[in-house]
Structure 1
Amino acid sequence: MCFSASASFVTAAVTGSLGIAALIRAPQRQDLLLAATPLLFALHQGIEGLLWLELAHGPGRPLAGGLTVLFLLIAEAFWPVYAPLAILLIEPDRLRRRLIRGCLVIGLCTGAVLAWWVLARPHAAAIVGGHIAYLSEDRDSRAIALAYLVATVLPLFLSSHRTALTLGTIILAGYVVTYLFYREAFVSVWCFFAAAASVAILGHFEWSRRQRLRGALS
């Protein structure tokens, strides 16, 4: 969350609670990755909350450097792999699974490149205009940005699950709004919109639970 430490911690608490509720409602093993997504959002927001506290004491603190790298690894290298895998596991349609598997391959390659980039180059974070901006060397990232978008968003639109389409709409809208209005703190604000998708994930598993109960009663 890009607005304050307290906002990050509140978001972490809310999304973490949603994640626990979703896991309780997850009926099968293949649902666990999707159900656990809000918990990972919560972890991510918690890391940034700690980073806010460190940056408030001034630049150059060692813990701030470690938190910056950890936050960027999750944001840039982890999600391109996790997102398509979570959708692939719940998708029943064979053709759609093949397409999503292709997105997963793209995500693995993208995640590997971005992990190397995060670990091999210097990075810093600073509070700029009420946001955390992540500062690093310039890079020509258009191809990587497109690959990241394909890996994290396209599987949601390829899925036969209506909830996945809702998630894709939320995340894509967040991507566009963040890019247009918060470009200097893109990585940070973008994750706030991703956290907002936790409500849709819980709604998916709650609806599935109620459908199973109705089936059992009938």
Structure 2
Amino acid sequence: MCFSATASFTLAAVLVPAGIYTVLEVRRTNPAWLAFGIFPLVFGVQQILEGILWLGLVGGNETAVCLSSRGFLFFSHFFWLAWVPFAVWTVEADATRRRLAGLMAIAGFFSGLSVFLPAALIEDWLRVEVIQRSLEYKTILIYEGFIDRSILRAVYAVIVIGSLLLSSHRLIQVFGVLVMASLVLTYAFYAYAFISVWCFFAAVLSVYLAVILRREVSDLHARARG
């Protein structure tokens, strides 16, 4: 598969309008789901950043590369780690599951911050390379040499996917299964550029949330009329 600025901007062109519409509809009819409603919009912004990164790499624009790569890293390594379990927490009714989701959100926040903040502030701690027509984000970690990166990837997966599967809502569980399947597919075929490719697939899957949340809004209207 060939990833490029065109692929990123094309996906963003779908996600941003769909995301704005979803946010407005969810906010108007069922604000409890707003944390999930912003998924497509945020993924769209993330894809715009990666599109700008592609253009910066091709054109040799170091400023664009620096800013867009750190913007992408903010979402991929920090935001989603905290936001996904937080979103689960906002709609979970079961007290035990809600407590676990809250703990995952806290763990995701500090785990993501420990990776993102040094890479954002220290110039040489983040490099981006094009490998087989995909982007690889190479970071230096504050615990480099003490904790194996495979363990960190496992922690990431447990927090993000585990919190989705933990939910008592079938909608969220199905989304979690899809995200898990995309992770396995990405690791099997695109391990050399794992974060970039997995985020691309997850962004595509966020369309599922937009469609399902729109259906939930329609059901609410139907029940209100009934």
Whether TM-score is above 0.5 comes out as yes
How far does the alpha carbon of each residue in 1:72-120 deviate from its partner, in whole angstroms, 9 at most, with x for none?
1211011100111111111122222112112112212211221234234
> How many Å separate the matches in 2 of 1:76 and 1:2?
23
8 A Cα contact 2:136 2:193, kept in partner: yes
Match of 1:66 in 2: 67
1:23 aligned onto 2:23? yes
CA contact (8 A) 1:122 1:136 kept: yes
**Could you say what the CA RMSD is over the residues aligned between the two structures, in angstroms?**
2.0
1:92-111 aligned within 5 A: 92-111=93-112
1:3 is matched with: 3
Matched residue SS, 1:56: helix
Question: Could you say which residue in structure 2 is the equivalent of 1:50?
Answer: 52
Aligned partner of 1:67: which letter?
A: S
How far residue 182 of structure 1 moved from its aligned partner, in angstroms, is 0.8
Residues 153, 172 of structure 1: 8 Å contact kept: yes
Deviation at 1:38, TM superposition (A): 0.7
| Dislocated runs of 4+, deviation >4 Å | none
The Cα offsets for residues 163-214 of structure 1, whole Å up to 9 and x where unpaired, read as: 1012101111111111121111111101111112222211222221222122
CA distance 1:122–1:2, shift in 2 (3 Å):
farther
Residues 4, 52 of structure 1: 8 Å contact kept = yes
Pairing 1:61-210 to 2, within 5 Å after superposition:
61-119=62-120, 120=122, 121-137=124-140, 139=144, 140-210=148-218
Q: Partners in 2 of 1:43 and 1:79 — Cα distance? A: 13
The amino acid of 1:51's aligned partner reads L
Query: What is the Cα deviation at residue 62 of structure 1?
Result: 2.7
- Per the TM alignment, residue 6 of structure 1 is displaced from its structure 2 partner at its CA by 0.8
Residue 191 of structure 1 aligns with an amino acid whose one-letter code is C
Question: Which residues of structure 2 form unaligned runs of 5+?
Answer: none
Q: TM-score with structure 2 length normalisation?
A: 0.88
Ranked by relative contact order (alpha carbons within 8 Å, sequence separation 6 or more), the top structure is 1
Look up the SS of the partner of 1:3 in the other structure: coil
Q: Which residue in 2 is equivalent to 1:38?
A: 40
Give the stretch that moved more between structures: 173-182 or 113-122.
113-122
Question: What is the alpha-carbon distance in structure 1 between the residues aligned to residue 222 and residue 175 of structure 2?
Answer: 25
